Amino acid sequence: MADLGVTKTHSRPHVSDDNPFPESQFKTLKCPGGVPPKRFGSIQDARAFCQVSLLWYNAEHHHSGIGLLTPEVLHYDRADEIIAQRQVVLSQAFQRNPERFVRAHPKPAAKSGRSGLIRHRRLQANGSNANLCGQVSPSKRPKQTSMSRQSKKFRLPAK
């Protein structure tokens, strides 16, 4: 860990929710190939374990937050093709057994949210200065005023 610049902190020891977003990635690592060992024998062992886990996460695991698609499908811009194929299968199932679908004609899960990669591609296509995370570089961001930093909910009433 020291080779990667990770240091031990004591800000909130023994608290499981002190940083839930990065910690959710550890749950992901536990899914495909079992639970990672407490300690790896070497950095190569750790990288091999993570490579298998990340391959599963990106290419095989269907994510509910992106319409039961894989990140790989979004990366290669095949989402519309996959959703169209799913719709064909659902339509055939509806034609064979319409009584199974009480409410309405079935539809495949929709992509929800926006992929950072798609946003990054659009920014690049528009000639915007974007970094690899899909964020506009600080030099191109609009300047914030003191009022734009405040939440509307907590603004003081006008006098």
- Mean pLDDT along residues 34-49: 84
How does pLDDT run across 86-131, given as a tens digit for each residue?
A: 999 999 999 999 999 988 899 998 876 555 555 566 666 776 554 4
Best-predicted range by mean pLDDT among 13-22, 47-56, 144-153? 47-56
DSSP states of the chain = -GGGT-----SSTT-TTSSHHHHHHHHHHHSSS-PPPSS-SSHHHHHHHHHHHHHHHHHTPPBGGGTSB-HHHHHTT-HHHHHHHHHHHHHHHHHH-GGG-SSSS--PPPP-S--HHHHHHHHHHTT--B-TTSPBPGGGSPPPPHHHHS-GGGPPPP-
pLDDT at 70 over 90: yes
The model carries a pTM of 0.53
pLDDT higher for 144 or 14?
A: 14
What pLDDT shows up at residue 84?
A: 96
